[in-house]
Amino acid sequence: MKTIDSTILYEVVIEVAPEARDDYLSWLRPHMDEMLTFDGFQSAALFFNSENKNEITCHYRLRDRAAMEAYLAGPALEMRADGVRRFGDRISAKRRILFSGAPS
């Protein structure tokens, strides 16, 4: 039987006001690099919506659920607050956590 890995995909979809898009992208790249310093974060990727240039999606791949839970219990609030402090209501974000393997 093939082993199913248990990686986590943390997805953040951001809607950015058109006038803030360039500044947001300049801030976002170092923000993503900082995310990769947290234990269990393995990779990050940035995606753009071909139908809405102001919608930006970040995918972070994490080692496992424990790493995701540690992030949410620790640095998540401050990492989220940094974007809100800088951009206020010019951004809105939706987040979801996707996992592989059987649900528990």
Per the structure, the count of domains in the chain is 1
Q: Where are the alpha helices (DSSP H) in 1-104?
A: 21-35, 65-73, 76-87
Residue 104, domain member (yes or no):
no
pLDDT at 45: 98
Residue 3, domain member (yes or no):
no
CA 93/CA 3 separation, integer angstroms:
34
Domain of 58: which CATH number? Answer: 3.30.70.100
Residue 81, domain member (yes or no):
yes
CA 38/CA 44 separation, integer angstroms:
12
Chunked into runs of 10 residues, the chain (104 residues) has average pLDDT values of 70 98 97 97 97 97 95 96 95 95 61
pLDDT at 59: 98
pTM of the model: 0.89
pLDDT at 44: 98
Residue 46, domain member (yes or no):
yes
pLDDT at 7: 87
pLDDT at 103: 58
Domain residues for the domain of 55 are 8-99
